[in-house]
A and B are shown apart, each in its own frame.
Chain A
Amino acid sequence: MLFRPNRRQIITGMASAGLLMSGQRAFGQAPKRIIVPEGEFTPLPIAIPNFAAGTPADTEVGAGVTQVITNNLKRSGLFAPIDQAAYIEKVINIDAAPNFQSWKSINAQALVTGRITRQGDGRLKAEFRLWDVNTGQQLTGQQYFTSPEYWRRIAHIISDQIYERLTGEKGYFDSRVVFVDESGSKERRVKRLALMDQDGANVKYLTRGADLVLTPRFSPSTQEITYMEFGQGDPRVYLFNIETGQREIVGNFPGMSFSPRFSPDGQRVIMSLQQGGNSNLFVMDLRSKSTTRLTDTPAIDTSPSYSPDGARICFESDRGGKPQIYVMGATGGGAQRISFGEGSYSTPVWSPRGDYIAFTKQGGGQFAIGIMKPDGSGERILTSGFHNEGPTFAPNGRVLMFFREPGGNSGPSLFTVDISGRNELRVPTPGFASDPAWSPLLS
Chain B
Amino acid sequence: MKLKIDKTLAASVALHVLVLGYGLVSFSTKAYEMTPEESVAVDVISPDQLAKVMAGMKTGKKENPKPLVDKVAEAKPIDDAVGKVTEKAPVITETAPPPQPKAEEKPVEKKPDPPKVAEKPKEEPKPEKKPDPPKVDPIAEAIKKEEKKPPPKPVAQPAAKPPEQKQKIVERHFDQTQIAALLDKRDATRQAATGATLNSNAALGTSKGTAADNSATWGSMFKQQVERCWKKPYGGIESQKPEAAFAIRLKRDGTLEGMPVPEGTPATPYLRVYQESALRAIIECQPYKLPAAFFEEWKYFAPVFTEQKT
Contacts and interface: CB of A to CB of B under 8 A. Distances in A.
A1 B174 CA distance: 9
Nearest to B227: A39
Interface string A90-114: 0000000000000010000100000
B108 to A, nearest CB: 14
Contacts of A40: 232
A32 B215 contact: yes
A404 interface: no
- Secondary structure at chain A's binding surface: helix, strand, loop or mixed? loop
Contact of B304 (A33, A41, A44, A133): A33
Interface string A35-56: 1111111111100000000000
Contacts of A164: 269
A43 to B, nearest CB: 7
Contacts of A39: 227, 230, 232, 305
B181 interface: no
A36 B173 contact: no
A166 interface: yes
Interface residues of A, number: 41
A36 B151 CA distance: 82
Contact of B222 (A34, A132, A419): A34
B279 A169 contact: no
B301 A33 contact: yes
A167 interface: yes
Given A9-B173, A419-B237, A35 B306 contact: yes
Interface centre among B219, B237, B247, B301, by most A CB within 10 Å? Answer: B237
A380 interface: yes
Contact of A420 (B237, B270, B302): B237
B300 interface: yes
Nearest to B210: A32
- Secondary structure at chain B's binding surface: helix, strand, loop or mixed? mixed
Contact of A34 (B174, B233, B302): B302
Nearest to B174: A3
A168 interface: yes
Contacts of A109: 231, 280, 284
A45 B232 CA distance: 11
A31 interface: yes
Nearest to A109: B280
Given A31-B300, A37-B310, A355 B238 contact: yes
Interface string B251-291: 00000000100000000111111101111100110000000
Interface centre among A31, A36, A165, by most B CB within 10 Å? Answer: A36
Contacts of B231: 42-45, 109
Interface string B216-238: 00010011001100111111111
A173 B284 CA distance: 30
Contacts of B245: 33
Given A104-B284, A168-B272, A36 B305 contact: yes
A166 B283 contact: no
A134 interface: yes
A166 B280 contact: no
A134 B270 CA distance: 19
Given A33-B304, A35-B304, A36-B303, A420 B280 contact: no
B230 A135 contact: no
Interface in B189-218: 213, 215
B215 A34 contact: yes
B310 A44 contact: no
Contacts of A167: 233-234, 270, 273
Contacts of A244: none
Nearest to B278: A36
A6 interface: yes
A61 B271 CA distance: 36
A169 B306 contact: no
A30 B304 CA distance: 13
Interface string A386-430: 000000000000100000000000000000000110000000000
A78 B310 CA distance: 27
Contacts of A31: 247, 300-302
B297 interface: yes
Given A41-B233, A43-B231, A419-B237, A135 B280 contact: yes
Nearest to A37: B306
Interface in A292-351: none
A36 B223 contact: yes
B215 A44 contact: no
A36 B226 contact: yes
Nearest to A355: B238
A34 B269 contact: no
Nearest to B219: A34
Given A6-B173, A32-B297, A167-B234, A38 B306 contact: yes
Interface centre among A40, A104, A168, by most B CB within 10 Å? Answer: A168
A168 B273 contact: yes
Contacts of B247: 31
Contacts of B219: 32, 34
A5 B175 CA distance: 10
B226 to A, nearest CB: 6
Contacts of A6: 173
A36 B302 CA distance: 10
Question: Would you list the 7 A-B pairs with minimal beta carbon distance, nearest first?
Answer: A168-B270, A168-B269, A168-B273, A134-B283, A34-B219, A31-B302, A134-B280
Given A5-B173, A36-B305, 7 more contacts: A32-B219, A37-B223, A41-B233, A44-B233, A78-B234, A135-B280, A168-B269
15 contacts: A34-B219, A34-B303, A36-B222, A36-B278, A44-B233, A78-B233, A104-B284, A109-B280, A133-B280, A164-B269, A167-B270, A168-B233, A168-B269, A398-B236, A420-B236
